[in-house]
Amino acid sequence: MAAVRTARSVWTGDLNSGGGQVTAATSGKFTDLDVTLPTRSGEAAGNTSPEELLAASHASCYSMALSAGLTRAGTPPGSLDVSASVTFDMVNGAPTVVSSALTVRGSVEGISEEDFAAAAEAAKDGCPISRAMVGNVELSVSASLA
């Protein structure tokens, strides 16, 4: 069942004044999204960043993991609105992804706030993208029902 997905980045120039583009090679769903160092650590100015792409990856993976867990428990979600905020900072002089904070608001029939919060926490720990980051990145989740 191994699945391989590919993205491609092309960079031109030096780190500080150069720039690049990133493309979803497997799906083709996005092409030539601009990335630069100044917009990576400052205002986005219409560009994406590795951290934004990681946040998108984490939010989408997490939403699938939470949906699966809720469905297994007999309370499939009507909807889940998930965001991930990934923080990029300097740690001991090295640029580092330090955290990914998930926020989820769910519409789920027949579940208490407490059970939803427990399912949300379990999904945070079970999501494959979370598992790829665990031990390196602080992970958190804030969950509420609509």
Looking at the fold, whether 34 and 89 belong to one and the same domain comes out as no
Looking at the fold, whether 85 and 116 belong to one and the same domain comes out as yes
The pLDDT assigned to 146 comes to 94
The pLDDT assigned to 103 comes to 98
Looking at the fold, whether 74 and 91 belong to one and the same domain comes out as yes
Looking at the fold, whether 17 and 73 belong to one and the same domain comes out as no
The pLDDT assigned to 1 comes to 74
pTM across the whole model: 0.94
Domain that holds residue 12: 7-41
How big, in percent rounded to 5, are the helix, strand and coil portions of the chain? 35, 35, 35
Q: Say if CB 99 and CB 140 are below 8 A apart.
A: yes
For residue 59, the domain's CATH number is 3.30.300.20
| Residues 25-81: tens digit of each pLDDT | 999 999 999 999 999 988 899 999 999 999 999 999 999 999 999 999 999 999 999
Edge-to-edge strand list for the sheet holding 79-91: 79-91, 94-107, 138-145
Q: What angle do CA 119, 120, 123 make, to 5 degrees?
A: 85
Find, among 50, 57, 56, 124, the residue nearest to 88 by Cα: 50
The pLDDT assigned to 14 comes to 97
- Say if 1 falls within a structural domain: no
